[in-house]
């Protein structure tokens, strides 16, 4: 992770790396291609490949087509302007992002439907088909990562299922057309109302997270006089080696049933006349880049499955949760999806159970970007700022996890352009309001359109109206077509959502 620059001093530099020396700006010397920045006392504060270079080298990785230089700068004999009406700048899913920004305004999330379909297909192929009469693995998209109705509809049309954690997500998944038999319900705090809604919808499995919750599901199932399919979500105490906020399968985390209690609770569920124990589940964390923690989880789950078999209980499915990691910056490790698929099949095939997985981030993170416009620039004593119209209320991940999102201009950037170290910040009144710290960026100015990339997961779903800012708009692009799928609300509409108490009117 890029450490925050020492704001008290100017940056020096040291890099025998490749490329051409470029301008000294803000006390920073950079080489295009790779850069290292340090403070005057020689401490390293950041290094890496600039986002512009990464994106220019691999536009397909981001689903982008990048604009070439404007005709005038190509030495075009026809002169300036290009095709009449042509929009210069990047395209996502065949649609010019400048056009989207003109119509929908900024900040706006843009999702690429075809990108999502392709990732779903890759995951399916990595997991392979069911063997020996066992149904094919089921991919239940973790709706928490992106609950946009349009995104869910794309996945529903491809036959994906859903992993939900609330009644709201259940309603959205059903509205999008996801079949109830493909919906699993996780979460430590399901209310009776939510359990009732899940029972009424006839979902595939309520994944039970505690003895107390089992008791409540029993009561609700009895009241409904239904036979309700349930799984037990286990806490296998496996370290996924990820950000502490993203680990969910450790002994001390609030999720899942401790392994020592698993068999007893599973038998209680199995014996209840209104419950059907269909499987075991786990979800050990997010941003996992190695198959090993999954293997370890299966190893623990196998013991419980074995004990249940000895007690005459046969299950139908094993749910390994989500957590597949993506690389948000060049060189960062990411899961090798084909190798992971092979590994989990090797570990689980002999069980004869249907495999269920609940990926969120891996399916959508790279298929979404946040469009934002530069409001202005500012030079502080210890840092230079690019102030944009997207803020922590629109994309919380940088402030919450110090998460990295590549940020590049939507217009063409000359590969030889000078880069400066800047903080990209929003207008919200919090020091934690930043989209990037100490980032090497080409010069931008007020009005320029920027793309905050890899923002398709855990972006809009965490957005708020903090500072009385409306939520971002949302757009879906699909092979040259596009539509605003969630218009930005006006302040008047937001005010209309509230009421004054009668005695204060
Ligand atoms: C139960 C459960 N399943 C799946 C996921 C999806 O995780 P990811 O987006 O990392 O794949 C989560 C995320 O927190 C989760 O809690």
Looking at per-residue confidence, does 53 or 255 come out higher? 53
What span, in angstroms and rounded, lies between the C-alpha atoms of 328 and 342? 24
Q: Rounded to an integer, what is the distance from CA 276 to the centroid of its chain?
A: 33
**Which residue among 360, 403, 462 is best mutated to probe the pocket of ligand 1, counting the most ligand atoms within 8 A of its Cβ?**
360
**Which residue among 161, 287, 323, 459 is best mutated to probe the pocket of ligand 1, counting the most ligand atoms within 8 A of its Cβ?**
323
Whether residue 410 has pLDDT greater than 70: yes
**Residue in this structure with the two tokens 């979500």, named with its chain if needed:** 233
Tell the residue nearest (CA) to atom 5 of ligand 1: 322
Q: Ligand 1 centre from 163 Cα, in Å?
A: 8
What span, in angstroms and rounded, lies between the C-alpha atoms of 48 and 220? 54
At a CB cut-off of 8 Å and minimum separation 6, what does 505 contact?
A: none
pLDDT digits (tens, 9 = 90+) for 277-295: 999 999 999 999 999 999 9
**What pLDDT is recorded for position 18?**
28
Would strands 449-452 and 368-379 be described as parallel, antiparallel, or unpaired? antiparallel
Three-state helix/strand/coil letters over 438-495: EEEEECCCCCCEEEECCCCCCCHHHCCCHHHCCCCEEEEEECCEEEEEECCCCHHHHH
Q: Ligand 1 centre from 141 Cα, in Å?
A: 9
**What pLDDT is recorded for position 34?**
53
Q: Ligand 1 centre from 27 Cα, in Å?
A: 42
Tokens describing residue 31: 């080489």
pLDDT digits (tens, 9 = 90+) for 12-48: 222 323 222 333 333 343 434 455 554 444 433 445 7
**What pLDDT is recorded for position 39?**
42
Kindly state the average pLDDT of the residues 3-9.
Answer: 33
**What pLDDT is recorded for position 38?**
47
Looking at per-residue confidence, does 442 or 81 come out higher? 442
Tokens describing residue 402: 């110090």
- Which domains can be identified in the chain, with CATH numbers? 86-111+366-494 (2.40.37.10), 137-359 (3.20.20.10)
Q: Ligand 1 centre from 332 Cα, in Å?
A: 20
pLDDT digits (tens, 9 = 90+) for 165-178: 999 999 999 999 99
Residues constituting the chain: 505
Contact 371, 110 (CB under 8 A): yes
Q: How far is CA 136 from CA 155, 180, 273, 345, 355, in A?
A: 17, 17, 29, 11, 7
Q: Ligand 1 centre from 248 Cα, in Å?
A: 9
Would strands 205-208 and 183-185 be described as parallel, antiparallel, or unpaired? parallel
Kindly report whether the peptide bond that precedes residue 107 is cis, defined as omega within 30 degrees of 0: yes
What span, in angstroms and rounded, lies between the C-alpha atoms of 193 and 255? 20
Q: Which atom of ligand 1 lies closest to the CA of 246? A: 14
Q: Which atom of ligand 1 lies closest to the CA of 145? A: 9
**What pLDDT is recorded for position 212?**
96
**What pLDDT is recorded for position 84?**
42
**What pLDDT is recorded for position 331?**
87
**What pLDDT is recorded for position 237?**
78
**Which residue among 286, 319, 320 is best mutated to probe the pocket of ligand 1, counting the most ligand atoms within 8 A of its Cβ?**
286
Contact 237, 262 (CB under 8 A): no
Tell the residue nearest (CA) to atom 4 of ligand 1: 322
pLDDT digits (tens, 9 = 90+) for 54-93: 999 999 999 999 977 766 554 444 434 344 444 469 999 9
Q: Which residues lie with the beta carbon below 6 Å from any ligand 1 atom?
A: 142, 144-145, 163, 186, 248, 283, 286, 321-324, 358-362
Does residue 367 carry a catalytic annotation? Answer: no
**Which residue among 324, 358, 362 is best mutated to probe the pocket of ligand 1, counting the most ligand atoms within 8 A of its Cβ?**
358
User: Residue 412: how many CA atoms within 13 Å on its side-chain side?
Assistant: 13
Whether residue 315 has pLDDT greater than 80: yes
Q: Which atom of ligand 1 lies closest to the CA of 457? A: 9
Residue 239 phi/psi, 5-degree rounding, is: -90, 115
Residue 69 phi/psi, 5-degree rounding, is: -65, 150
Average of per-residue pLDDT values in the chain: 88
Q: Ligand 1 centre from 62 Cα, in Å?
A: 22
Kindly state the average pLDDT of the residues 415-419.
Answer: 90
What span, in angstroms and rounded, lies between the C-alpha atoms of 262 and 301? 9
Three-point CA angle 97, 445, 381, nearest 5°: 135
pLDDT digits (tens, 9 = 90+) for 456-467: 999 999 999 999
Contact 243, 325 (CB under 8 A): no
Q: Ligand 1 centre from 128 Cα, in Å?
A: 21
The pTM is what? Answer: 0.89
Which of 26, 140, 282, 429 is catalytic? The answer is 429
């Amino acid at each position: 992770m890029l450490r925050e620059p020492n704001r008290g001093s100017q940056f020096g530099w040291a890099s025998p790396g490749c490329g051409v020396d470029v301008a000294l700006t803000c006390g920073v010397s950079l080489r295009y291609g790779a850069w290292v920045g340090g403070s005057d006392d020689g401490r390293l504060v950041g290094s890496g490949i600039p986002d512009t270079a990464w994106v220019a080298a691999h536009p397909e990785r981001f689903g982008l087509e990048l604009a070439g230089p404007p005709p005038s700068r190509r030495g075009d004999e026809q002169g300036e302007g290009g095709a009449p009406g042509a929009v210069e700048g990047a395209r996502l899913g065949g649609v010019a992002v400048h056009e989207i920004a003109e119509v929908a305004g900024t900040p706006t999330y843009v999702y690429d439907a075809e990108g999502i379909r392709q990732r779903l297909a890759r995951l399916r192929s990595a997991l392979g088909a069911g063997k020996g009469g066992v149904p094919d693995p089921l991919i239940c998209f973790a709706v928490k990562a992106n609950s946009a109705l349009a995104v869910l509809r794309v996945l529903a049309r491809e036959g994906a299922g859903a992993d939900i954690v609330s009644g709201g997500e259940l309603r959205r998944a059903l509205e999008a057309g996801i079949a109830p038999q493909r919906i699993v319900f996780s979460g430590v705090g399901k209310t009776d109302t939510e359990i009732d809604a899940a029972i009424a919808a006839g979902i595939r499995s309520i994944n039970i997270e505690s003895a107390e919750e089992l008791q409540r599901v029993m009561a609700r199932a009895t009241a409904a006089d239904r036979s309700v399919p349930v799984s037990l979500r286990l806490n296998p105490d496996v370290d996924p080696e990820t950000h502490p906020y993203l680990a969910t399968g450790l002994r001390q985390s609030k999720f899942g049933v401790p392994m020592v209690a698993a068999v007893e609770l599973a038998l209680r569920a199995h014996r209840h006349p209104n419950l059907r124990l269909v499987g075991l589940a786990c979800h050990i964390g997010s941003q996992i880049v190695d198959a090993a923690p999954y293997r370890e989880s299966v190893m623990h789950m196998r013991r419980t499955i074995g004990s249940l078999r000895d007690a005459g209980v046969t299950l139908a499915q094993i749910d390994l949760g989500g957590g597949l990691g993506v690389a948000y910056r060049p060189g960062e490790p990411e899961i090798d999806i084909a190798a992971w698929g092979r590994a989990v099949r090797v570990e689980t095939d002999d069980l004869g159970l249907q495999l269920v997985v609940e990926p969120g981030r891996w399916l959508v993170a790279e298929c979404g970007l946040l469009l934002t416009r530069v409001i202005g620039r500012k030079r502080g004593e210890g840092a230079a700022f690019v102030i944009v119209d997207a803020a922590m209320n629109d994309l919380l991940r940088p402030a919450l996890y110090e998460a990295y999102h590549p940020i590049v201009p939507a217009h063409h950037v000359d590969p030889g352009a000078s880069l400066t170290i800047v903080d990209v910040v929003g207008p919200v009144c919090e020091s934690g309001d930043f989209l990037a710290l100490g980032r090497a960026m080409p010069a931008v100015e007020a009005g320029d359109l920027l793309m905050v990339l890899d923002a398709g997961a855990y972006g809009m779903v965490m957005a708020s109206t903090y500072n009385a800012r409306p939520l971002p708009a949302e757009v879906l692009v699909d092979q040259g077509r596009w539509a605003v799928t969630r218009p930005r609300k006006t302040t008047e509409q937001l005010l209309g959502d509230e009421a004054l108490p009668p005695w204060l009117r």
